[in-house]
Each structure stands twice: as C-alpha cells, then as structure tokens.
Amino acid sequence: MDNYVSYIRKMIGSKPMFLVGAGVVVSDEKGRILLIKRTDNGKWGLPGGSLELGETFEEAAAREVLEEAGLTVSNLVLFKVYSGKKMHFIYPNGDEVYNAVCIYMTNEYKGTAAADGIESSSIAFLGLDDLPSDLHPPDMIIIDDYGKALWANGK
C-alpha cells in the first residue's frame, strides 16, 4: 500500500482533511536549526511529515528527519503541539489540509545532513537571524515560537 495519506487522497481527492504529523527542530552546536527545501512547494521548512498507521509521534518525527535529511536523531523533547485554523494549508496541487502536529526539539543527531532529492532538494543549518524569506507557512509559526522560547530562556 502507498503511504496512508496517498491512500486517503485516492478516495477523497483534494478535499480538506486532517493531517496528523510530527516534526523536529534539530539544532547544531552553533544553535542553528536544520531546514530543508521542500520539493512539494519549493519552500524551506522543518523536517517532518505525516504519521503512518501504527506509528507514534516520536517514531514519525525521527523517520521523517532520516528520510528528508539523512540524520538519525535521538533524545526528542516535545516542544509544542499545533492545530487549528493557523495550521491550515493548501498545497500547490490543490490538496487541502488542517495539520495537527507534535513538534519536537533535539540537538542530538548522527550522520551527514543531505537532501534526499524526493521530499527535499536542499538542506542547511541556519541561524534564526539568517532564515530565508520563502518559509513553508505552517513552519513559520513553529520557528517563530521556537525563537521566542529561546529568547525567553535567555539563549
């Protein structure tokens, strides 16, 4: 079977659907965060994606980072849960989603960061002051909250 979202999309087309997912803010030793350039809309965003049937949020988050960025992450700490109207998105192909996602943080990873060429075309660790202007809209909210949390904690 295709992945779960593809399976459902075959039945409902581009109609709105809930998309349950997980993502990770991966930071390096310099405090920069990992961003991928997405192939679905050409925007920069956090690694993450939909849960597959039977998968936990943590498993999905780690799998997505590995698939999209080539890194094996560990010590995932829940940052925040996002849902509601602010997480609504319509993809360039017309697929409409209301995201409900658990976002994790970690600075523990192994491997060499590399785009997979399927879901990500480029990859970079960037400082919060050096972010590209073309960020994936739902991820803009998450990155902004992450920056505010760092500031509140004096980092």
Summarised one tens digit per residue, pLDDT across range 76-102 is 999 999 999 999 999 999 999 999 999
Region 123-130: mean pLDDT is 96
- For residue 71, pLDDT over 60 is answered with yes
Q: Determine phi and psi for 71, rounding to 5 degrees.
A: -110, 140
CATH, residue 109: 3.90.79.10
- For residue 37, pLDDT over 60 is answered with yes
Band of the pLDDT at 1, cuts 50, 70, 90?
A: very low
Number of domains in the chain: 1
pLDDT, residue 151, reads 85
Relative to beta strand 48-50, strand 17-26 is: antiparallel
- For residue 155, pLDDT over 90 is answered with no
- For residue 144, pLDDT over 60 is answered with yes
Which has the higher per-residue pLDDT, 150 or 110?
A: 110
pLDDT, residue 11, reads 94
User: Which pTM value belongs to this model?
Assistant: 0.93
Domain that holds residue 42: 4-152
